[in-house]
Amino acid sequence: MDMLDNLCIYVMLWGMKTRDKIEDFFKSQDGVSNVVATIIILLIVVLLIGVFWTRLQEWLKGIMDTIFSDSSVPKADGLGG
């Protein structure tokens, strides 16, 4: 019985020390939440770009076609163009 009591006390002390170490670890990690939040936001942005990539390409192509095919600008005749 003496051995079981010692084992029980050892396990309880080990559990308390482990709990205290974990609590101290999370208390000392103030900046980690900012880093994790930044990484999560970057992942979300990359995933959204990946999901909507074809639509973004169509949209950008439409904008570029509109910009570079402006018919309101008069063309210069005989000036090399």
80 assigned to some structural domain: no
The per-residue pLDDT for range 3-46, each reduced to its tens digit, is: 888 888 999 999 999 999 988 887 876 666 778 888 999 999 99
59 assigned to some structural domain: yes
Buried b (16+ CB within 10 A) or exposed e, 38-69: eeeeeeeeeeeeeeeeeeeeeeeeeeeeeeee
51 assigned to some structural domain: yes
Looking at the structure of the chain, the number of domains it has is 1
78 assigned to some structural domain: no
81 assigned to some structural domain: no
58 assigned to some structural domain: yes
Structural domain harbouring 48: 2-25+35-68
Q: Choose the most confident range, by mean pLDDT, from 41-45, 57-61, 64-68, 70-74.
A: 41-45
User: Are 75 and 81 contacting, i.e. CB atoms less than 8 angstroms apart?
Assistant: yes
The reported pLDDT for the residue numbered 81 is: 47
The reported pLDDT for the residue numbered 73 is: 57
17 assigned to some structural domain: yes
User: Are 49 and 56 contacting, i.e. CB atoms less than 8 angstroms apart?
Assistant: yes
